[in-house]
Amino acid sequence: MEPRTFKMPEGFDNLLNIQNAKERFLEAEEVAKRLSEGGIALKPNADHYAIFTDPPRLVADPLKRVGYVLGYDNRCYPSPVDGCDYINVAASLPASSPAREKGWCDHVAVVHPVDEAGYLRMMEQGYGNPFIHHITWGIEPHLQPVPEGSELAAALVSTMAQVRQRVAEILGAVPGTLILALPGDIVESPGFGERFGQWIGNTPNDQVQLEVMQGGGYLLQFFVLKGGRIELALRFRTTQTFNPKSVHKISRDELSVDQGQEGSVLRQATRSP
Q: What is the pLDDT of residues 106-155, one digit of tens each?
A: 999 999 999 999 999 999 999 999 999 999 999 998 887 878 899 999 99
**Three-state secondary structure call for residue 208:** strand
Give the mean pLDDT of 206-217. 94
What are the C-alpha distances in Å from 228 to residues 28, 221, 265? 12, 12, 9
- The set of residues, in sequence order, having a beta carbon less than 8 Å from that of 201 and lying 6+ positions away, is 158, 161, 162, 165
The percent of residues in the chain predicted with pLDDT above 70, rounded, is 93
Phi-psi region of 233 (alpha: psi -120 to 50; beta: other; left: phi over 0): beta
Q: Which of 112-126, 183-197, 243-257, 259-273 has the lowest mean pLDDT?
A: 259-273
CB atoms within 10 A of CB 143: 13
Predicted confidence band at 261 (pLDDT cuts at 50, 70, 90)?
Answer: low
pTM of the full predicted structure? 0.92
- The set of residues, in sequence order, having a beta carbon less than 8 Å from that of 43 and lying 6+ positions away, is 137, 138, 139, 140
Q: Is the pLDDT of residue 3 over 70?
A: no
pLDDT of residue 226: 67
DSSP secondary structure code for residue 129 in this structure: S
CB atoms within 10 A of CB 141: 18
pLDDT of residue 141: 87
pLDDT digit string, tens, across residues 51-105: 999 999 999 999 999 999 999 999 999 999 999 999 999 999 998 999 999 999 9
Give the mean pLDDT of 19-34. 94
- What are the two backbone dihedrals, phi and then psi, of residue 193, each rounded to the nearest 5 degrees? -55, -45
